[in-house]
Amino acid sequence: MANATKTKNKKPSWIRRVGAKFKEVFSELKRVTWPTFPTVLKTTGVVLVIVFLFLAVVTGVDAFLGWLLSLIS
């Protein structure tokens, strides 16, 4: 009787679990609504503009703090 419960509760091998996970991922990827190329270009442009704005602000603050530090020392 103990043998029957061991085989009943046994998990599938890790290879089968990985295969099932890949199958599930590909199934989900088929349902994704992918953006069009112009949308990707537009959002990439927005991200780049924001990154360069933050770069300018951080560089300006760094230069200002460096200037203040040079006045102190």
pLDDT for residue 10: 79
Mean pLDDT across the chain, nearest whole number? Answer: 89
- Measured CA to CA, the distance from residue 8 to residue 1 in angstroms comes to 11
Burial, 24: exposed, middle or buried (Cβ in 10 Å; 0-12, 13-18, 19+)?
exposed
Predicted pLDDT of residue 60: 98
Confidence of residue 6 (pLDDT cuts 50, 70, 90): low
Across the range 9-17, mean pLDDT stands at 84
Instruction: Answer yes or no: are the C-beta atoms of 17 and 11 closer than 8 Å.
Output: yes
pLDDT surpassing 70 at residue 52: yes
